């Protein structure tokens, strides 16, 4: 019985870790497009998903807006 519980917990942990990767693959493009929309007065430069930082080019200078 103990072996079944351990096996189930390992499977659940594996599925949870895989799900995190899937969520990132779905959320990153959405966040990036939100950053592009926020740069409406300037030109989109880059977006860093891990730290949730958005950068725009305003008059040739890269500015972090969040």
Q: What is the pLDDT of residue 5?
A: 85
Cα(59)–Cα(42) distance, rounded to whole angstroms?
8
Burial class of residue 47 in the structure, from the number of CB atoms within 10 Å of its CB (0-12 exposed, 13-18 middle, 19+ buried): buried
- Give the tens place of pLDDT for each residue, 1-59: 777 888 888 888 777 777 777 777 888 999 999 999 999 889 999 999 989 999 999 99
> Quick check: 63 pLDDT over 80?
yes
With beta carbons less than 8 A apart as the criterion, state whether 15 and 42 touch. no
C-beta neighbour count of 53 within 10 angstroms: 13
Provide the 8-state DSSP code for 56.
E
- Give the tens place of pLDDT for each residue, 14-24: 777 777 777 77
């Amino acid at each position: 019985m103990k072996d079944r519980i351990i096996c189930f917990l390992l499977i659940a942990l594996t599925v949870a870790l895989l799900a995190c990767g899937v969520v990132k693959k779905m959320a990153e493009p959405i966040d990036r497009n939100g950053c592009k929309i926020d740069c409406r007065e300037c030109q989109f430069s880059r977006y860093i998903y891990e730290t949730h930082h958005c950068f725009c080019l305003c008059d040739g200078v890269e500015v972090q807006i969040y």
